[in-house]
């Protein structure tokens, strides 16, 4: 099976953006996962693009990280296609 081009995958690009948002907000993976009521591995998989992130979780992340991003929800919808 050919390896997935992670950089070209919208879900991977979204995950990288979510990781940058978390890091810039000063949260560790463990702390953010706890506050989002999920296990760290679940958040890690979303940030790495292995698992889809839904609009509701993205909104919770924007609230937690205090990052209003008008385009993020559209990016989430695109990545879920």
Q: Quick check: 72 pLDDT over 50?
A: yes
pTM confidence score: 0.88
Q: How far apart are CA 6 and CA 81, in angstroms?
A: 16
Q: What is the pLDDT of residues 5-14, one digit of tens each?
A: 555 699 999 9
* CATH number where 27 lies: 1.10.260.40
Q: How far apart are CA 11 and CA 14, in angstroms?
A: 5
* 3-state per-residue secondary structure call for 46-67: HHCCCCCCCHHHHHHHHHHHCC
User: Is residue 5 assigned to a domain?
Assistant: no
Q: Domain range spanning residue 43?
A: 10-79
User: Is residue 2 assigned to a domain?
Assistant: no
User: Is residue 57 assigned to a domain?
Assistant: yes
User: Is residue 64 assigned to a domain?
Assistant: yes
Q: How far apart are CA 29 and CA 10, in angstroms?
A: 21
Question: Per the structure, how many domains does the chain have?
Answer: 1
């Amino acid at each position: 099976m050919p390896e997935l081009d992670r950089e070209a995958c919208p879900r991977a690009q979204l995950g990288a953006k979510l990781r940058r948002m978390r890091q810039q907000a000063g949260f560790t993976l463990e702390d953010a996962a706890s506050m989002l009521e999920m296990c760290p591995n679940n958040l890690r998989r979303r940030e790495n693009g292995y698992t889809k992130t839904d609009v509701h979780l993205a909104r919770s992340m924007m609230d937690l990280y205090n990052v209003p991003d008008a385009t993020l929800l559209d990016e989430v919808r695109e990545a879920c296609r």
